[in-house]
Structure 1
Amino acid sequence: MNAADLHTLTGAYVLHALAPDERAEFERHLLICPACAQEVRELAATVGKLGLAVAVTPPPALKHHVLRRISAERQEPPRVPGARRGGARRGRGLSRFVLAACLAAAVSFGGVAAWQHQEAREAREDARASQRQAAELASVLAAPDARVSGTKLPEGARGTVVVSQSRNKAAFLTSGLPKPPPGKVYQLWFDDGGKMRPAGLMDPAVTDNALLMDGPVDSAAGMGLTLEPAGGSAEPTTDPLALMRFST
């Protein structure tokens, strides 16, 4: 791609609409082209401000429509010292206006690719966090020093806690646990000598759980399970449904 073509990619770059190889080449270009770097900063700031002002569900075809319009609209290269002025300057002003209009339209409907990129990044981060938690759960269950305790739960359900002191973590497993009432959630607790410490919330839609308890075991000698308002509580607000001592 020649230098003249690179100058036209500021809008597509801000919209995260470049292919990976084009994006890498354009980012190298930004290091040596202050004019393009400034334009990218200005367009990105505009997109951010407009995005904060609206929150509307976009039509599914809007992103493709906007990107198609941008790709079809010719942008003049940025003005550099010694370059001719006049017609080229007027053309650049027009293309910037059209590009800004496209950006504003995209943002006003919540369909800017930058927003979708952020959503995708957050989804990837959530997936990586889930993978890390699953790996840590597996390491606790398979730990050589894992100690297992079990108890009965309401309506014939069963609960099992697995503790690994070497990993300073505990896992809690349930089978057949009834779903909590609307607006309620099951909450786990570490028992620190009679003082309950929050250890995570259970998924109210799942009856068979296997989850890593939040926080370290430390000096906890057992755990508890209570029914709490949705979102959980800082300390138990109901009598425990179960209390379990950790096996030693």
Structure 2
Amino acid sequence: MSTAELHTLTGAYALHALPEDERREFERHLADCEACAQEVRELSATAARLGLAVAEAPPRELRERVLREITTVRQEAPPSHGRPGRTGGGGRTGRWSVYALAACIAAAAAFGGVAVWQNQVAQDARQEADRAQRQNQQLAQVLSAPDARTSSGELTGGARGTVVVSEQENRAVFLASGMAPPPSGKVYQIWFNDEGTMRSAGLMNPSASEDAVLLDGPVDRATGMGITVEPAGGSAEPTSDPVALMDFPTA
């Protein structure tokens, strides 16, 4: 295997996807190639975070509200020792039965609402986990693609970025380390550089100094990427000067 071919195996090696003979050959190459060693360290750190799922806890105020309302429901009185059947509308037992029935209905409605809410939360979490899993699978496919090419460079503020591009997958992944958090209410937005025209490629996690982003959309004619600081939620087009510009690696 040629040295040029060995340079393309960093993603597959980080994901333990190389056959045994290629792994041994690549590790011999790795001992003498600092550029590949750096890429393997960055890709391995990213791969370690790919299996994370999303979960949400019920809000504290919902539980407290239900418990508070339950304490306001009056308990049903003991049964009357008077004559059987004396439960007229003006009697004590009749009034307490109404309160008890109302309490049961309120409790059933409250806990029924909790159950519906919890079920919705569970469904949302499953959908988010499924979406994250699909994205992670696509990200891994790009990193381990046989034609994956990588390019690394220093970013603003001493951060480091690596972009991995696969023509076969028509996708790109951006890996960042040491990124300073964006200003409050802002987010880093990534853009494809389509021969001078910027096309949105997704948002970075504003709370992570290290991030792996599967760029949103196909690479197509893009020759590079840029990063700008945008309002939370992103922008339709760049509104600030780029904090980073990187060319995509070429064959």
The TM tier, using the shorter chain, reads 0.5 to 0.7
Q: Matches of residues 69-88 of structure 1 in structure 2 within 5 Å?
A: none
Helix, strand or coil at the partner of 1:197? strand
1:190–1:223: 8 Å Cα contact kept in structure 2? Answer: yes
Match of 2:109 among 88, 104, 110: 104
Helix, strand or coil at the partner of 2:61? coil
What is the CA–CA distance in structure 1 between the aligned matches of 2:171 and 2:200, rounded to whole Å?
14
Alignment-mate amino acid for residue 231 of structure 1? G
Asked whether 1:169 is paired with 2:174, we answer no
Q: Matches of residues 129-208 of structure 1 in structure 2 within 5 Å?
A: 129-208=131-210
Q: Residues 101 and 61 (structure 1 numbering): CA distance in 2 closer, same or farther, change over 3 Å?
A: closer
The match for 2:221 is 219
What is the CA–CA distance in structure 1 between the aligned matches of 2:235 and 2:131, rounded to whole Å?
23
TM-score relative to the length of structure 1: 0.59
1:103–1:112: 8 Å Cα contact kept in structure 2? Answer: no
2:228–2:243: 8 Å Cα contact kept in structure 1? Answer: yes
Match of 1:58 among 46, 59, 62: 62
What is the CA–CA distance in structure 2 between the aligned matches of 1:106 and 1:62, rounded to whole Å?
8
Identical amino acids, percent of aligned pairs: 55
After superposition, the CA RMSD in angstroms is 2.7
2:66–2:110: 8 Å Cα contact kept in structure 1? Answer: no
- Give the number of equivalent residue pairs: 163
Helix, strand or coil at the partner of 1:173? strand
What is the CA–CA distance in structure 2 between the aligned matches of 1:58 and 1:209, rounded to whole Å?
34
What is the CA–CA distance in structure 2 between the aligned matches of 1:58 and 1:231, rounded to whole Å?
28
1:222 Cα deviation after fit: 1.1
Q: Residues 195 and 62 (structure 1 numbering): CA distance in 2 closer, same or farther, change over 3 Å?
A: same
Q: Which runs of 5+ in 1 are unaligned?
A: 1-54, 67-93
1:219 Cα deviation after fit: 1.4
What is the CA–CA distance in structure 1 between the aligned matches of 2:203 and 2:65, rounded to whole Å?
39
Q: Residues 103 and 225 (structure 1 numbering): CA distance in 2 closer, same or farther, change over 3 Å?
A: same
What is the CA–CA distance in structure 2 between the aligned matches of 1:207 and 1:56, rounded to whole Å?
30
What is the CA–CA distance in structure 1 between the aligned matches of 2:186 and 2:62, rounded to whole Å?
33
Alignment-mate amino acid for residue 240 of structure 2? T
What is the CA–CA distance in structure 2 between the aligned matches of 1:138 and 1:60, rounded to whole Å?
43
TM-score relative to the length of structure 2: 0.58
1:222–1:245: 8 Å Cα contact kept in structure 2? Answer: yes
Helix, strand or coil at the partner of 1:112? helix
1:150–1:158: 8 Å Cα contact kept in structure 2? Answer: yes
Q: Which runs of 5+ in 2 are unaligned?
A: 1-58, 71-97
Helix, strand or coil at the partner of 1:160? strand
- Give the structure, 1 or 2, with the largest relative contact order (CA under 8 Å, sep 6 or more): 2
1:208 Cα deviation after fit: 1.0
Alignment-mate amino acid for residue 196 of structure 2? G
Larger Rg: 2
Helix, strand or coil at the partner of 1:236? coil
